[in-house]
């Protein structure tokens, strides 16, 4: 066999091997994970953004091995239900929900299915039955929102900044999943300080506006402070802004909301970071995709951070000691 023939045979063998490798690769297509995402609170969409970015860092690249179906259903229970039902029909690999209402709906609708549900910023207490924090059971795991602990802290912070507080006003949607548990804790906390909780149950911004208008027209705005508890109505942008604008007119401190309330004059927020919640959720999602059952993955609780609006506090004639200032992650001055 001459030299040219040997080169030709070697070339043909190399081409054959390359074709075989290519065929094998095509026959073993990369798994594409389908994730359905639904939220019931638009201001927390940063959770989804952080989740997707963290998933990319873990090797889940959109357009290659993961696809997202994002359903933003702000304070729309029917829309959330329809979104989860769609995900179930689509047989997605994971349903990611946040914060509480969408998570409760997903829990109820996916019972009896093998679709794992991962939640974030969810008030688990009183809403989703779990076996334990270390072993939630069923098809769910996630990042919990430490609501009851935070509500107590909100009362403590308000009374530390304004010690003579005796009458605290709060509005809420009685039908939101977190409300019953949060109110129970809030009532006990306020009572322990010999203060009075003025409750205004409402379901719409129009009802909240009517309550505030009635107080103004009566000429008796007898409120020392306002707290925004972690539920859908009072922490929605339109309602929280309405409340804070009312409070600013009457020199009433407002606290306990989410970060954007500081821009309008709320004096403090104390809550987990939404970006961190998304990152923690991504870690759990990766575990699920590697074959670990969701119900065996421990729930995680992100760290809380204090944000102070020192400018608003001073405008109200109040003061904050150095100890509290040193605890703040961010101070607006």
What is the share, in percent, of the chain residues with pLDDT greater than 90? 88
Clarify whether residues 175 and 319 are in a common domain.
yes
Please indicate, yes or no, whether residues 162 and 51 belong to a single structural domain of this protein: no
**Is residue 5 domain-resident?**
no
pLDDT over threshold 50, residue 233: yes
Kindly state whether residues 41 and 120 are assigned to the same domain.
yes
- The answer on 322 and 215 residing in a single domain is yes
Is 264 within a domain?
yes
CB-based contacts of 218: which residues, under 8 Å, 6+ apart? none
* 20 belongs to a structural domain: no
User: Would you place residue 15 in the very low, low, confident or very high pLDDT band (cuts 50, 70, 90)?
Assistant: low
Domain-embedded: residue 4: no
- Residue 263 and residue 296 share a domain: no
Statement to judge: residues 151 and 201 lie in one domain: yes
Average pLDDT over residues 78-107: 97
Determine, yes or no, domain membership for 79: yes
Query: 3-state class of 13 per DSSP?
Result: helix
- Check whether residue 107 and residue 182 sit in a common domain: no
Nearest to 157 by CA among 301, 308, 262: 308
Q: Is the pLDDT of residue 5 over 70?
A: no
pLDDT confidence of residue 160 = 97
Number of domains in the chain: 2
Residue 219 has a pLDDT of 85
Contact between 122 and 133 (Cβ < 8 Å): no
Query: Are both 283 and 216 inside the same structural domain?
Result: no
Q: Is the pLDDT of residue 198 over 60?
A: yes
Domain that holds residue 299: 33-145+273-303
**Residue 22 in domain:** no
- Cβ neighbours for 147, distance < 8 A, ≥ 6 positions apart: 123, 125, 178, 181, 182, 185, 230
239 domain-assigned: yes
Distance CA 45, CA 38 (A): 10
Q: Using 50, 70 and 90 to split pLDDT, how confident is the model at 13?
A: low
Token digits of residue 142: 């996630």
Two tokens at 117? 């549900």
Same domain, 155 and 265: yes
Q: Is the same domain home to 212 and 135?
A: no
- Run of H or E including 102: helix 100-110
Q: Is residue 44 part of a domain?
A: yes
**What percentage of residues in the chain have a pLDDT greater than 70?**
91
| Per-residue model confidence (pLDDT) at position 23 | 46
Same domain? 122 vs 235: no
Residues 182 and 254 placed together within one structural domain of the fold: yes
Asked if the model's pLDDT at residue 19 lies above 90, the reply is no
CATH classification of the domain holding 154: 3.40.50.2300
User: pLDDT of 297-331, one tens digit each?
Assistant: 999 999 999 999 999 999 999 999 999 999 999 99
């Amino acid at each position: 066999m001459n030299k040219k023939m040997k080169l030709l045979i070697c070339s043909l063998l190399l081409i054959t091997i390359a074709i075989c490798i290519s065929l094998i690769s095509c026959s073993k297509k990369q798994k594409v994970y389908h994730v359905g995402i639904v939220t019931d609170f638009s201001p927390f969409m940063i959770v989804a953004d952080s989740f997707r970015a963290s998933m990319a860092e873990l090797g889940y690249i959109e357009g290659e091995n993961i696809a997202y179906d994002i359903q933003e259903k702000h304070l729309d229970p029917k829309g959330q239900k329809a979104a989860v039902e769609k995900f179930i029909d689509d047989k997605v690999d994971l349903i990611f929900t946040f914060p509480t209402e969408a998570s409760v709906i997903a829990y109820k609708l996916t019972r009896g299915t093998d679709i794992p549900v991962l939640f974030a910023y969810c008030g688990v207490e009183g809403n989703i039955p779990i076996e334990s924090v270390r072993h939630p059971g069923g098809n769910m795991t996630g990042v919990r929102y430490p609501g009851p602990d935070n509500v107590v802290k909100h009362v403590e912070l308000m009374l530390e900044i304004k010690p003579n507080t005796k009458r605290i006003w709060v509005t809420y949607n009685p039908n939101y999943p977190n409300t019953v548990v949060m109110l129970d804790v809030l009532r006990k906390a306020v009572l322990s300080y010999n203060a009075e909780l003025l409750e205004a149950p409402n379901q719409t911004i129009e009802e909240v506006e009517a309550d505030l208008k009635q107080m103004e027209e009566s000429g008796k705005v007898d409120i020392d402070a306002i707290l925004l508890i972690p539920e859908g109505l009072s922490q929605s942008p339109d309602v929280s802004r309405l409340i804070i604008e009312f409070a600013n007119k009457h020199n009433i401190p407002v606290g306990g909301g989410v970060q954007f309330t500081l821009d309008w004059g709320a004096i403090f927020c104390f809550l987990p970071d939404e970006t961190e919640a998304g990152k923690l959720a991504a870690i759990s999602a990766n575990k699920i995709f590697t074959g670990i059952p969701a119900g065996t993955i421990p729930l995680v609780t992100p760290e809380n951070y204090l944000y102070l609006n020192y400018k608003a506090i001073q405008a109200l004639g109040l003061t904050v000691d150095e100890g509290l200032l040193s605890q703040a992650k961010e101070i607006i001055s």
